[in-house]
């Protein structure tokens, strides 16, 4: 339902020194109509041109400090509200590749009243703005 809003392409930025980026970041929104505690975000998968980014290279920050995906599994006291932006940072030497690329995000969410996880997907063709 809200999949087309998961990736905010206008927020794509390289991280680290300008001459030697150590990764990139972008903002995302929750693909579920209610907020969730971070422990209910089972996984966030990022890929560039179909190539998955390693899970341990991803951190997530909904405004209370960055967490690895493993740390999110026990973040019972932190909530991600519907409509609230969160930042995903990907550790990737060289940052986001030059030129136009497909950036994809999948959110796997555990919803309390559903017997199966919710998969929310967004893919956008993006270019890093200088």
Looking at the whole model, is its pTM more than 0.85? yes
SS3 20: coil
Q: What pLDDT, in 10s, does the model give residues 52-70? A: 999 999 999 999 999 999 9
Query: 29-58: string of b/e by CB count within 10 Å (b at 16+)?
Result: bbbbeeebebbbbebbbbebeeeebeeeeb
SS3 1: coil
Q: What pLDDT, in 10s, does the model give residues 71-119? A: 999 999 999 999 999 999 999 999 999 999 999 999 999 998 888 889 9
Domain assignment of residue 20, given as a range? 3-127
What would the DSSP string read from start to end of 105-118? EEEEE--TT-SS-E
SS3 49: coil
pLDDT of residue 129: 75
> Residue written as tokens 């405004």?
63
CATH of the domain at 30: 2.60.40
CA–CA distance, 84 with 49 (Å, rounded to integer): 27
CA–CA distance, 25 with 29 (Å, rounded to integer): 13
CA–CA distance, 27 with 9 (Å, rounded to integer): 8
- Structurally, the chain folds into a number of domains equal to 1
What is the C-alpha end-to-end distance of the chain, expressed in Å?
32
């Amino acid at each position: 339902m809200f999949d087309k809003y998961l990736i905010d392409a206008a927020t794509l930025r390289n991280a680290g020194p300008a001459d030697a980026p150590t990764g990139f970041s972008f903002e995302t929104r929750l693909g579920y109509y209610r907020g969730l505690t971070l422990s209910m975000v089972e996984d966030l998968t990022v890929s560039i041109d179909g190539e998955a980014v390693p899970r341990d290279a991803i951190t997530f920050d909904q405004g209370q400090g960055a967490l690895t995906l493993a740390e999110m599994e026990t973040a019972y006291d932190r909530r991600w509200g519907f409509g609230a932006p969160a930042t995903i940072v990907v550790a990737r030497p060289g940052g986001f590749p030059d030129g136009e690329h497909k950036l994809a995000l999948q959110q796997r969410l555990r919803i309390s009243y559903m017997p199966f996880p919710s998969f929310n997907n967004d893919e956008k063709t993006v270019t890093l703005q200088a």
